[in-house]
Chains A and B, each alone.
Chain A
Amino acid sequence: MSRILAIAWKDLRSTMRNVPALVMMLVAPLALAALLGFAFGGGQSFSITATKVAVANADTGAFGVGAVGNYGAVVVGVMKSPDLKDIITVSDKPSAAAARKAVDDGKAAAAVVIPADFSGVMSGASSVAPTTAIEVYENPTQQIGGAITESIVGQALLGFNGARAAAVAASGLATANGDGDRAGELAQQAAAKYIQGGGAAAGVSVAQRAPRLPGGASTKDVGVSGTILAGMMVFFMFFGANNVARTILDEERAGTLPRLFTTPTPRRTILGGKFSSVFVTVIVQAVILLVGGRFIFSIDWGRLDAVAALTLVAAAVASGLALLLISLVRTPAQAGGIGAGVYLVLALLGGNFTGAAAAGGAYATIQKLTPNGWLLQGWDAVMRGGGLADIVLNLVVPLLFAVVFFAVAVLRFRKRFA
């Protein structure tokens, strides 16, 4: 046992003296987490810049009986309201073509084009067209901006359509009550009343809250930094494990491994020592990153027992995978190249770079194909306040992966170093 520890300690010390390895294991995850944190506003939440919208109001207005003036201007007014200033930034354009050009030139994410007959159709004054439409011309690569613009315009239109519905309903009621000749007048009054009442805006509100745990306590909001650093940590633990496992090949070439085999220490102890080296190094790496996350990014990782369990299982997965890969390749250079490729694919599939997938989607299923996907979901749950009982599967499934990795690695090493 002490000889296994002696080997593990030697390798750990070696890693601490290896600058590229330290950069990979410690600096890279923290630096990338900082970079991505900076991406998302550097704060605790995903905040995005206001969408730029170009608007062209060609509405000629409708003046006369029951008309309010320029309905198009009302819509523009809604868009420019102070409540929305963090969400959209509106710029006026003289024509539809100019507004669309703003989108084409990349200066706006969307353009809102209000047609000339808008007020006319809305007020019923125009007999030419029964319906009208406001065009939202979007840049398809800016889906979010487009969706936001559609939503805002839709809300504004709802106001008009609602007033119209009030008018229609009042007209119908009047007719049913035998008051048909006052139908038009009552319709306009109903529409006016609807608008005075604040329209749909006063109708329904939606408040958001975090889900509650079985005990009744609310789950915590996980900051962006926590999710990102967890993903980076697991990804770079793969590399950390790879670096140490690689030394098995390096030592084989350098002659120190065969020399170890000429000592009275049995081969299984020697290989066991190398396996332990990988595991121990990765645990130390994880602990440093967890502490770093706590103090540099103020991440609250959650309950200690759950965090410890996740860390141990993550270390087992990383070590097992690295040892498996090493047992399959021949040269240290291959180990570096193949390892990087495999880890990248696993990370892309498991969501290390992108965070939790949308529920029910294909991506959520794909993430479950990877051990790191399960682990990351576990970290997320624990950061939201969960405990060991909530992450049982997130511990057991990756552990099974690790066991299989280790088993195959042991078989191959035995064959190689018989």
Chain B
Amino acid sequence: MKRIWTLASKDLLETRRDRLALLFTVIMPLAFTTFFGLMFGGGSDRLPLAIVNADSGAPAMQLVSALAQSGVVKTEAMTIAAAEKAVDDNKVAAALEIPAGFSAALAAGRPAALTMVSVAGSTGAQTVQTEVMALAGRLAAGERAAQAAVAVAGTPPGSDPAVGEQALKDAALLMARPLAAQSLAHPVATVKVVQAGMAAGQIPTGFVLSSPGMLVNFILFSLLTAGIALIQERRNFTLLRLMTTRVRRWELIAGKAVGMFALTFVQQIILMGAGQLLFGVDYLRDPAALLLMMVALSLFASTLGLLLAAVLTSEQAMVATTVIVSMSVAALSGAWFPLEITGPAFQAVGHLLPTAWILDGLRGIIVRGFGVADVLPAFGVALAWSTALFVLAVWRFRLSD
């Protein structure tokens, strides 16, 4: 046991001295996290929306003004040509075309059509469209409510139905509209949104949700430096030489694993510390659960790195394999994009990997107040994987080229 620790500390010492490894395992991820946190930590910006209004009627104006006051979009009036270009150049998330007959159609009780000009698949456009539909929906509802009220109560009792019905109706509409709008502005039934596990009124920022994913990304990538060092050691024959001492083979390999574990663990501490202290990502919400997840992640990363270094022979092969493996694992685990936007097959495959579970666990801790019991399954999956990887690594470990 002591020998294993001696081997591991030697590796760590070398890493600390190797300024390059230091740069890439600690400084770069930290700088990157800081940069991203500064950019996105403050909550989301309003999405730019171009408005092309060809209608001079009141409802169209109301729609434009409602959008201008929205907290989701930031509006700017444009000509259609300018708007097309702005959408194409990604200067605006979408453009809303209000055609000339819009207000008239609403007033006449016919369906009114709007056109959104956007690039298919853009999530920004989706959000804008939802907001436009919500506001336009309310507008239409108000108009329809006013229409219905006028149809029922617009003409005073006892008036001559043949005389100036239209004028009466118009006058009634003028009164009904604000009444309806007023009622809709203070609705009786509302939606109350509660985010499970979070304090009232809070929504997790984009950075908070993406922080654990980036963490996993960088940990996986740092396997690169550790693996390359190992390969070089093999090449220097120092590994082989170690075997001529009384160190046993599995002790040697375990020593390597412990070293990698410690390295990734320290990395996690640094990155999580920065997230917590600088950007309010509440990792420490449940320290026990957090510890479990950190151990799980380091176990997985170190045994994976060990296996790769065990079977690959050249630095080039190491770089190639680590890049591909870490990118695939990151993508499949939901580190780059939330798995909820992927298909069911992908999610199923992704959840074969421990990192998907760990990411769910970390996000759960931060945002939903997960405790030890909630992250225990994730820990179990990671432990199973790590054991399998370790056994494979010991079996296939090559001491020399």
Contacts and interface: CB of A to CB of B under 8 A. Distances in A.
Interface string A161-180: 11111111111111011110
Nearest to B177: A169
B129 A136 contact: no
A28 interface: yes
Contacts of B127: 147
Contacts of A293: none
A110 to B, nearest CB: 9
B194 A336 contact: no
Interface stretch (B262-270, B323-331, B382-390): B323-331
B317 interface: yes
Contacts of B157: 177-179, 182
A106 B196 CA distance: 11
Contacts of A336: 228, 315-316, 318-319
Contact of B336 (A143, A354, A362): A354
Given A20-B316, A338-B20, A140 B136 contact: no
B115 A207 contact: yes
Contacts of A358: 47, 93, 122-124
B170 interface: no
B64 interface: no
A138 B228 CA distance: 44
B354 interface: no
A139 B198 CA distance: 10
B188 A161 contact: yes
Nearest to A42: B343
A197 B209 CA distance: 43
A338 B116 contact: no
Interface stretch (B106-114, B285-293, B300-308): B106-114
Contacts of A155: 137
A146 to B, nearest CB: 8
B399 interface: no
B152 interface: yes
Interface stretch (B82-90, B237-245, B246-254): B82-90
A403 interface: no
Contact of A40 (B193, B214, B342): B342
A360 B122 contact: no
Given A206-B114, A361-B45, A362-B40, A166 B189 contact: no
A137 B196 contact: yes
Contact of B142 (A165, A171, A197, A340): A165
A160 B323 contact: no
Interface stretch (B5-13, B143-151, B273-281): B143-151
- Max count, chain B CB within 10 A of own CB: residue among A18, A143, A190: A190
Contact of A28 (B83, B187, B323): B323
B120 A221 contact: yes
Secondary structure of the A contact surface, majority rule:
helix
B188 A160 contact: yes
A133 B189 contact: yes
Contacts of B123: 358
B35 to A, nearest CB: 8
A344 B193 CA distance: 38
A39 interface: yes
A363 B143 CA distance: 39
B208 to A, nearest CB: 9
B144 A200 contact: yes
B172 A143 contact: no
B344 A359 contact: no
Contacts of A122: 188-189
B379 to A, nearest CB: 16
B124 to A, nearest CB: 4
A39 B323 contact: no
B109 A139 contact: no
A219 to B, nearest CB: 6
* Top 7 A-B residue pairs of the complex, sorted by shortest distance between their CB atoms: A203-B140, A169-B149, A358-B124, A177-B156, A165-B145, A162-B141, A170-B149
Interface of B: 20-21, 23-24, 28, 32, 39-40, 44-48, 74, 81, 83-85, 87-93, 95, 106, 109, 111-125, 127, 129-130, 132-134, 136-157, 172, 175-177, 179-184, 187-198, 203-204, 209, 214, 217, 221, 224-225, 228, 232, 314-324, 327-328, 331-332, 336-338, 340-347, 360, 363-364, 367-368
Given A41-B343, A204-B111, A359-B92, 20 more contacts: A32-B328, A38-B345, A45-B120, A109-B340, A131-B188, A153-B191, A161-B189, A173-B149, A173-B175, A190-B149, A199-B144, A210-B120, A219-B119, A243-B316, A337-B21, A348-B214, A354-B336, A359-B91, A360-B47, A361-B44
Interface of A: 18, 20-21, 23-24, 28, 31-32, 35-36, 38-42, 45-49, 51, 100, 103-104, 106, 109, 118, 121-122, 130-147, 150-151, 153-155, 157-174, 176-179, 182, 186, 189-191, 193-194, 197, 199-200, 202-214, 219, 221-222, 224, 239, 243, 332-334, 336-341, 344-345, 348, 353-354, 356-364, 366, 377, 381, 384, 386, 390
